[in-house]
Amino acid sequence: MTEQDIARFQEQLSAILAAFEVLKEVDTASVPPTAHALALQNVLRDDTVTESLSREDVLANAPQEEMSCFRVRAILEE
């Protein structure tokens, strides 16, 4: 690191620590601890069991099929 970098980081760190000192002065005694600042809710639908497609229907448009499975090219990394 250059001397300029060190000087800049010292200034930035001092500003961050000063901001934390300000936050220490805030009365949070009546604020319950939380893992998230906003109330969260699930927006997904409930899971429901439904009838599945038959193997023949699933493989009907497969480009290649082998032993009732999709056949794909091998992808090997060296």
What are the angstrom distances between the C-alpha of 35 and each of 16, 42, 57, 66, 76?
A: 22, 16, 45, 49, 42
Residue 43 is predicted with a pLDDT of 87
pLDDT band at 78 (very low <50, low <70, confident <90, very high): low
What are the angstrom distances between the C-alpha of 59 and each of 8, 34, 50, 53, 63?
A: 62, 48, 19, 10, 9
* pTM score of the predicted model: 0.39
> Which residues, 6 or more positions from 65, have their beta carbon under 8 angstroms from its beta carbon?
59, 71
pLDDT digits (tens, 9 = 90+) for 27-76: 988 988 888 888 888 889 888 999 999 999 999 989 999 998 999 888 88
